[in-house]
Amino acid sequence: MTKSLTYAGAGVDIDKANKLVESIKEIAKKTNRPGVIGEIGGFGGLFSLNINNIQKPVLVSSTDGVGTKLKVAFMAGKHDTVGIDLVAMSVNDIIVQGAEPLFFLDYFATGEIDSEIAVDVVNGIAEGCKQAKCALLGGETAEMPGFYKTNEYDLAGFAVGIVDHSKIIDGSGIRMGHKLIGISSSGLHSNGYSLARKICFDVLKLKIDSYVSELGKTIGEELLIPTKIYSPMILTLLKDLPIHGLAHITGGGISENVIRIIPETCMLRIIKNSWDIPPIFNFLKESGKVSEEEMMRTFNNGIGMVAIVPEKSVDEIMDRMAAENEKIFIIGEIAERKNSQEKIKWV
């Protein structure tokens, strides 16, 4: 007689997943903000919109992952920071339209649930939510045996924010002479890791705990620095200062991300060497013999967010950012573009 089969025997342990959900509930409570109704565990997360101060509310959403930066976390056995990256990639995308992050949902998929790893990941997600001042409203943990390698997983995140229709930042207010303020990144953030890993681990044959003197830390420590979350600072500035364009610098670098938000009649003039480039970028460039062009279209090169502002407001905006210990630089300006011209010029 055929032995009776079970879901757990096939590799999916419902009891373990239920215990994990109970742990996640306690973590998520620490991210609660006004609007949250109930707790994690239902079929859907509930959030009540407080729109007393918003005349025409518009919801802004974004979804993203962490990419192959996860491979570095697997190598290091360190899983408590990639959750911050997950939150950052989505909330940094919605802040560019002036939206305040309200809540976040995550998707965690693995071959077999390791509760310790999963809790570390969710703790990182909760930390990202606290930094962004949004609630961890729900998520999904999927156990899929045979689909992932042992102790490996994938992550996806989903953020929802709100902005008054009259305050949406869409680049339409950008004019000739506006300045580009570059706000520093914390490192590679979460882009370009396929190239970075190839250079570090295939070309240089580094181990995850190899100390790199140029960086002052191990390569694993450098590559796992979390993505900076910009939304609290940007929202504070937007209360009383004009910002007519914002660009989150991810894959494609400064060039391809900033040109997405400028009008057709405008051109970017980017000033070379106008900001401090963190050591990791020069290390990768020299070690991998990567061209300048390839560096600029693959990595953020030290600038994680670009704000386009009127010249008369530059000093006040930069003073306010500096007071928050942000590293900021004037990296270019908006110029007139004629039909035959490219939308960006490096000077």
- The span from the CA of 252 to the CA of 6, in Å, is 47
> Which helix (H) or strand (E) element contains residue 211?
strand 211-212
Give the residue from 216, 233, 335, 325 showing the smallest Cα distance to 279.
Answer: 216
Helices within 259-304 (DSSP H only) = 279-288, 292-298
Report the residue count for the chain: 347
Architecture in CATH for domain 14-167: 2-Layer Sandwich (3.30)
Q: What separation, in Å, do the N-terminal and C-terminal C-alpha atoms of the chain show?
A: 78
**Cβ atoms of 18 and 143 closer than 8 Å:** no
List all residues 6 or more positions away from 8 whose beta carbon is below 8 Å from its beta carbon.
14, 15
DSSP string, 71-125: HHHHHHT--SSHHHHHHHHHHHHHHTTTPEEEEEEEEEEESS--HHHHHHHHHHH
- The residue type at 264: E
Which CATH number describes the domain made up of 179-346? 3.90.650.10
Q: Along the 347 residues of the chain, how does pLDDT read in single tens digits?
A: 567 877 777 777 777 777 888 888 888 899 999 999 988 777 888 999 877 788 999 999 999 999 999 999 999 999 999 999 999 999 999 999 999 999 999 999 999 989 999 999 999 999 999 999 999 999 999 999 989 998 899 999 999 999 999 999 999 999 999 999 999 999 999 999 999 999 999 999 999 999 999 999 999 999 999 999 999 999 999 999 999 999 999 988 898 899 999 998 899 999 988 999 999 999 999 999 999 999 998 999 999 999 999 999 999 999 999 998 899 999 999 998 888 788 888 88
Is the whole model's pTM more than 0.85, yes or no? yes
Q: Which helix (H) or strand (E) segment is 332 a member of?
A: strand 328-336
Look up residue 13 and give its DSSP letter: -
Q: H or E element: which one contains 308?
A: strand 303-309
Say what the pLDDT of residue 133 is. 96
What residues does each domain of the chain span?
14-167, 179-346
- The CA distance from 246 to 97, in Å, is 7
How high is the pLDDT of residue 58?
A: 96
> In this predicted structure, what is the pLDDT of residue 123?
95
Burial letters 8-29, b for 16+ CB under 10 A, else e:
eeeebbeebeeebeeebeebbe
